[in-house]
Amino acid sequence: MIIQSTKPSMPNIEEYVEEIKDLWQSKWLTNMGSKHKALESKLIDFLQVQNITLFVNGHLALECIIAALELKGEVITTPFTFASTTHAIVRSGMKPVFCDINPNDYTINVEMIESLISEKTSAILPVHVYGNVCDVKKIEEIAKKHNLKVIYDAAHAFGVEIYGKGIGSFGDASMFSFHATKVFNTIEGGAITYNDSSIAAALSGLKNFGIRNSESVEYVGGNAKMNEFQAAMGICNLRHIDSEREKRKAVVDRYLANLENVDGIRLSNEQDGVRKNYAYFPVVFSEFKMTRDEVFEKLNENNIRARKYFYPPTNSLECYKGLFTVETTPVANYIAKRVLTLPLYADLSLKQVDRICDFIKC
C-alpha cells in the first residue's frame, strides 16, 4: 500500500448528498447562492475575521487582492513558497524582490525587509509557511513606517491563531487556499480575509467580470467565483474541522516523539502563543547520515511519498531563469536543498508514522 504525502479530508458521502440536495430544487449552481453565503458567514466566525470574499481557488484570490489594492512596482516576498505566490506578483505585472527566511521557522526574515525597500516598493507579501506564523507585529511596524500594503499568503494557515486572534486578521489582507491538499478544502477554493470593508466591492467585482450591476461593468475583472458544490463541500468539511485538527496533532506528536532527538535532523521551533493547525511536518536533514535526496529515495522505494516542499525555491524556477539572483537568499536555498515534508493527514495511523520514522532512522 502506498502512503501518499497527503490525503484530502472528505465528509461521508451521505452528508455531502444531503447538503447539495436543495440545489436540485433551486437550480442555483453558482454566482453567490445560498451555500456560498452560508459558508462565508461560517468562515467569518471560524477564522475570527471582519470580512471574507470566497474564490474558486487561492491563486486567483491572490491575483484579485493584488488588483483590488492597485499595487504597482515592487513587492517584497520570499522564495521559500509554492510557485503561486511569486507567479501572482509577476502575472500582475510587478517585480518580486526576494527577502531571505529565518532558519528556524522558514518565514520572512524581518530584519532584512527594510534594506530591500525602494521608492518602487508598494507591498510586502510574506508567507505563513507550513502554518508557521510570520512576525506580524514587526511587519506591521515596517509597513506603517514606509506606507506599504501587507498581503499574507496564508494558504497553509487555516485555523491558526496567535494569542487568540485569527491569523487572517493581520495585514491589509490574507489569502487562504481551500485546495484538496490543504487542512480545510472545498475541492478547489480560496478566500481573501480583510479588515477594511471598502475592499469588498473591488474583490466582488474582480472575481465576476467586474460586473457591478446589470448595466454597469466597473472593473476589468476575470472569473474566479466559488460555485455552490464547492461551498457545500466546505460547509460539510467545516463541521469536522476540530476533530481533523486533533487527529493531525496526534500524527505530529508521534513524529516528534520519533524524530526529536535524532542527530542531524532539524524540526520547526515551537512558536509562542500560536495555536497550530498541524498542516505539514517539515524535516531538515542538515548533517544527517543520509542526504535529503537519499531519504526521499529510500522512502519512495518503500512506497512512502514524502515531498520536497519547497524545492526549488521560486527565485530559481525554470520560468524565471536569468531574472533573479538566488545569492540574496542563502537560507532559503539551504533549506530548500535539505527539507522534506513527511506524509501527514488526519487518517494516517500512528503505526504508519512509526514505520516511516524507522526507515529514516535506520
Ligand X SMILES: *Cc1c(COP(=O)(O)O)cnc(C)c1O
Active-site residues, by number, are: 182
Interface with ligand X (CB under 6 A), residue from 6, 9, 47, 58: 58
Matching residue, cell 512596482: 73
Burial class (CB in 10 A: 0-12, 13-18, 19+), 284: buried
- Map 110-144 to HEC letters: HHHCHHHCCCCEEEEECECHHHCCCCHHHHHHHHH
Q: Which stretch binds ligand X (CB under 6 A): 80-88, 117-125, 232-240, 294-302?
A: 80-88
Cα three-residue angle 268-174-120, rounded to 5 degrees: 100
CB of 80 to ligand X, least distance (A): 10
CB of 23 to ligand X, least distance (A): 23
Interface with ligand X (CB under 6 A), residue from 5, 6, 9, 85: 85
Q: Which stretch binds ligand X (CB under 6 A): 5-13, 78-86, 204-212, 287-295?
A: 78-86
Q: Which stretch binds ligand X (CB under 6 A): 150-158, 221-229, 237-245, 326-334?
A: 150-158
Q: How many helices (H) and strands (E) does the chain have?
A: 12, 15
CB of 155 to ligand X, least distance (A): 3
Interface with ligand X (CB under 6 A), residue from 6, 9, 53, 57: 57
Q: Rounded to whole angstroms, how far apart are CA atoms 224 and 211? A: 12
Cβ-proximal residue to ligand X, closest one: 58
Q: Is 155 in the site for ligand X (CB under 6 A)?
A: yes
Q: Which stretch binds ligand X (CB under 6 A): 30-38, 52-60, 102-110, 196-204?
A: 52-60
Dihedral pair phi/psi, residue 279, rounded to 5°: -70, -40
Interface with ligand X (CB under 6 A), residue from 59, 225, 254, 266: 59
Nearer to ligand X (CB atom), residue 265 or residue 282: 282
Judged by CB under 6 A, how many residues of this single chain contact ligand X?
14
Q: Is the peptide bond before 55 cis (omega within 30 degrees of 0)?
A: no
How far CA 294 is from CA of 311, 319, 354, in Å, comes to 15, 27, 19
CB of 342 to ligand X, least distance (A): 16
Mention every residue, 6+ apart, whose C-beta is less than 8 A from residue 259.
265, 267, 283, 357, 360, 361
Longest dimension (CA), the chain: 68
Contacts (CB under 6 A) with ligand X, residues 94-113: none
Q: Which stretch binds ligand X (CB under 6 A): 14-22, 57-65, 236-244, 313-321?
A: 57-65
Interface with ligand X (CB under 6 A), residue from 35, 36, 149, 156: 156
**Contact pattern for ligand X over residues 176 through 195, marking x by CB under 6 A:** -x-x----------x-----
Q: Is 77 in the site for ligand X (CB under 6 A)?
A: no
Q: Report the b/e string of 227-261 with b at 16+ CB within 10 A.
A: bbbbbbbbbbbbebbeebbebbeebbebbeebbee
Dihedral pair phi/psi, residue 94, rounded to 5°: -115, 170
Binding site for ligand X (CB under 6 A): 57-59, 81-82, 84-85, 127, 153, 155-156, 177, 179, 190
